[in-house]
A and B are shown apart, each in its own frame.
Chain A
Amino acid sequence: MSVAETHSLAGGGPGLSPAALSREALLTVQDLVIGFGAAAPAVDGASFSLTPGESLGLVGESGSGKSVTCLSLMGLLPPKAQIRAGQAVFAGRRLFDLGRAELAALRGRDIAMIFQDPLGALNPVHSVGWQIAEALMLKQGLSERQARRAAVDLMARVGIPEPRRRARAYPHQMSGGMNQRVMIAIAIAAAPKLLIADEPTTALDVTIQAQILDLIDDLRRELGMALLLITHDLGVVAQMAERVLVMRRGTVVEQGPVDAIFHAPRHPYTQALLGAVPRLDRRVERLASLGETAASLGAA
């Protein structure tokens, strides 16, 4: 059955179906294990793949390994972390075998990333226009003059009003939503094939979050870019992702099309997670509480 091939649970043999592999994957991650020192691995056998232009949501609670997984793809793991096993292949290249310079060339050009805290990710002593222009010079080889002009165009494209004037502003002079737009402008400067967004709207107010999510979705479609969206927010995933990967304690417990994950979840953890979220469209008497005794109270 095709459903069984695409909607899979943990422990059912190798995480990748042959079907997923044959479909010209942009990114394939296979049996990834990442550890910090002697502690139990933070990521323990994660496998998934992403086709060009696809949006994949990676959900899980803190400590599930979702961010570490994505940092490893960018070669941005902290020094203490070790990739113990597994492979990641992006557009035919084995990411973990690349040298420092090759990775640096790949970052920003082929794979770009945006983070939760745009103010922390931007440089406080340069204007935002300059920071976008810098990305264009480095990754597109534009001259400074061309880059500065292109930066203003990019700012307009990500919905920053009065881009010519705002290009001269510094990050602290802009709101959180505007700074995240700047980050997105930098990320799409080189039209990457894959955008990794790690909790891109978690620090933003809900009306601003809606604007930013719409922007990311529009750009993905326009540029034919694949999106790997990391979030703890099930509502955001339901709205943004075509396929969903549920992680818990370093393993992928379930993955499948967004509709199957939300309407026919198979893993008890996914089911419990969905029951634990308060929803705007309905009121339940009592929220399901998962692992109340075992997970949170027993293990401190």
Chain B
Amino acid sequence: MNPGSTQNAPLVEVQGLQRVFRGGVRSPLGRFGLGRRLECRAVDGVDLAIARHETFGLVGESGCGKSTLGKVILDLLPPSGGTVRFDGRQPGAWDRKTFRRRAQLVFQDSLGALDPRHSILAQVREPLDIHAVGVPAERRAEAARMLQEVGLGEAFHDRYPHQLSGGQQQRAVIARALVLKPDFVVCDEPVSALDVSIQAQVINLLRDMQQRYGLTYLFISHDLSVVRHSADRIGVMYLGRLVELADGEDLFQRPLHPYTRALIAAVPIPDPRLKRDRHLLRGDPPSPFAPPPGCHFHTRCPHAQARCRAEVPALRDTGGGHRVACHFAERLAQPEGVA
């Protein structure tokens, strides 16, 4: 029996997932196979489940491993350990074409994602050609319909990517990702390169498409405001590990991890009357090649104690599915959300 066939099972399940990048060698003896190899645990034991039709937001600062996690889930990078299950099966167990058809992606750099030498219509049609959906005339009609849905009418069919604005390019990328009617889309910083007004349009478009096609999103972003607006549940990453995971509203009203709190406090809010206690984090994040032992965050945490330096905190449930990886979360918890 296929365990994924039940509607209640999560669409994506990630367990103990690891992805290690091996870098150069620090020692001059490296060429003789000696010396210590540099290792970056970009994803270091992540557990999460994404329910059908939900938007799971993943936030964190640069280098926290959020994009790597997205790529491993999509089988664009092999995991170094742990498992990913998509609809009950590991990506490798799926027929490759079937998996690609069901799991798609939208990246930040829409111009880079489009082929400069093909018209927009041809590019949106290409996935249908590859998967041999219907006859050519039907494919053309379907590609045109999809473009229309994302707001690019007939006038855009024969244009090339460089003839479109950034927002239009991202619309074309979304049309191409959705034309095969996938179940799951990883959106990696889909609006980060766009102006505020265009950003709002693309966020609204992604939401409309989700409702129309029952999509499940993994929404990766460094921008907490965008994630708060877009996601149902949110995971916060720091140096390869999930440090907190909760329902969106719960996370912002009752952030438990000191890092989540600092992150929220650092986001500027467009209201000059709002005077917030910003208790800023000191210093830079540590190098992912040499993360501190114990809780990775202890070097910047205002509440760190001896235990934090020695023992890795587990991601544990504090009730209602609000999970946090901090030894002292309960003791630190006082209401200090933003809404």
Contacts and interface: CB of A to CB of B under 8 A. Distances in A.
Nearest to B337: A281
Interface stretch (B16-24, B29-37, B196-204): B196-204
A283 B195 contact: no
A148 to B, nearest CB: 25
A199 interface: no
Task: Decide if the interface of chain A is mainly helix, strand, loop or mixed.
Answer: helix
A233 interface: yes
Contacts of B252: 280
B338 A296 contact: no
Looking at B196, B223, B229, which has the most chain A CB atoms within 10 Å of its CB?
B196
Nearest to A290: B197
Contacts, number: 148
Interface residues of A, number: 51
B269 A279 contact: yes
Interface in B49-102: 61-62
A296 B198 CA distance: 8
Interface in A242-300: 258-259, 262-263, 272-274, 276-284, 286-292, 295-297, 300
A2 interface: no
Given A206-B224, A233-B268, A289 B195 contact: no
A299 to B, nearest CB: 8
B271 interface: yes
B167 interface: yes
21 contacts: A61-B197, A205-B61, A207-B263, A214-B278, A233-B268, A235-B267, A235-B270, A237-B270, A239-B272, A262-B271, A276-B200, A279-B271, A281-B269, A283-B248, A284-B229, A286-B204, A287-B203, A287-B204, A289-B204, A290-B200, A292-B151
Q: Which 6 A-B pairs have the closest CB atoms?
A: A235-B268, A278-B229, A287-B200, A210-B266, A234-B270, A276-B200
Given A232-B195, A297-B168, A300-B163, 13 more contacts: A205-B61, A205-B62, A208-B284, A211-B280, A235-B268, A235-B270, A279-B225, A280-B267, A280-B338, A283-B228, A287-B200, A289-B204, A296-B198
